[in-house]
Homo-oligomer: A and B are copies of this chain.
Amino acid sequence: MRRAFNFSAGPATLPVPVLERAAAEMLDWHGSGIGVMEMSHRGREFGEIFERCEARLRELLAVPANYKVLFMQGGALAENAILPLNLSRGGVVDHVLTGSWSKKSAKEAARYCDARVAASNELDTAPHHRSLPVPASWRLSPGASYVHLCSNETIDGLEFHEVPDLRALGSDAPLVIDCSSHLASRPIDWSRVAVAYGGAQKNIGPAGLTLVFVREDLLGHALAACPSAFDYSVVAANGSMYNTPPTWAIYVAGLVFDWLAEQGGVEAIERRNIEKAALLYAAIDGSGGFYRNPVDLGCRSRMNVPFFAHDERLHAPFVESAAARGLVQLKGHKSVGGLRASIYNAMPLEGVQALVSHMQEFAASHG
């Protein structure tokens, strides 16, 4: 077997030790005689798995005691509705539009409340969003139930390197971040973030698990139309077991958290992520125009790196020749085209080095 370096934007590459352990325990978890997929979610064995997973996650991200961690389903797209159903109170909410995902969030929220655009980068050169609107320019609504932003735009490759401080902007609204594609890649500043949510299928585990971190004082105001299984208060009161949780995904997430702790934790992985991203952007910027990344330096994503060859006819042969040497899933998202390398926590530095080598050799042979 030859493992590929997998640059998929999600579901995404997982650490080899995690996969090996999941395989080894498949038929018999810790001598129980049954596998994790076969365990009652209310049994002692899964209880251990669940508690360890949540404790590890809280420790890794330094989640304050007054935040609930909810293990939900449906991904960030479902959460785009579940969030305003729980927190909008049917009033005004502010959205910061920075790319594909934040726009979807705002569009869905508008079905449940008065969703306003506080800021937008839509005037950036289409189809590429290049910049993030400067927080000082945001038009925040007085009395908004919350302010929503996507802290890492997976398709456009933009990342808030620092989450804005709403209080410094004169707002006391809770800040909600969709952090799907960089969750657990760096610390979260909980003094600025009231709610964070994300699908697991980037840095955390299999698709089908959604993590929601919510400050307790925001609970208890769901709209009447909110399904019980998606009511944050109901989910919290039942320890994420009102409905049967995605047990296997939670187990794998727990193994990933163990692995992350072994890597030195989130601060350590952030340093490696910055190093990996710097290497890749340097290869793009130093290619003499063969490759380009359209995003402003100050907001380039450290997770998702879209790039384009100077001639778009080169994209298909690039992807093909990369796959031939075990570098897979490098095609750009269909909405923007080009190429994209997602370099999540589990992508080793060696994978990025191999990609850079391929980029250089490809440029040399197609220059």
Partner-B contacts on A (CB < 8 A):
1-4, 6, 8-14, 16, 19-20, 22-24, 26-28, 31-35, 37-41, 43, 73-78, 80-82, 85, 108, 111-112, 199, 201, 205-209, 224-225, 227-230, 242-249, 252, 326, 328-329
Contact = CB atoms under 8 A, between A and B. Distances in A.
Contact of A6 (B13, B23, B33, B329): B33
B26 A13 contact: no
Contacts of A227: 74, 78, 80-82, 85, 108
18 contacts: A2-B33, A3-B27, A8-B40, A8-B43, A19-B35, A20-B26, A37-B207, A37-B252, A43-B329, A73-B73, A77-B242, A81-B227, A81-B230, A82-B227, A199-B244, A207-B248, A225-B225, A246-B249
Contacts of A208: 73, 208-209, 244-249
A39 B22 contact: no
Given A22-B26, A248-B249, 6 more contacts: A11-B39, A12-B38, A19-B35, A19-B37, A23-B23, A206-B246
A24 B249 CA distance: 18
SS of A interface (majority): loop
Number of copies: 2
Contacts of A77: 228-229, 242-244
B81 A207 contact: no
Interface centre among A6, A33, A247, A329 (most CB of B within 10 A): A33
Contacts of A225: 111-112, 225
Contact of A19 (B27, B252, B328): B27
A230 B78 contact: yes
Contact of A108 (B43, B75, B228): B228
A257 to B, nearest CB: 15
A78 B43 contact: no
A76 to B, nearest CB: 8
The 6 closest A-B pairs by CB, nearest first: A208-B246, A4-B33, A81-B227, A225-B225, A23-B26, A77-B243
Nearest to A208: B246
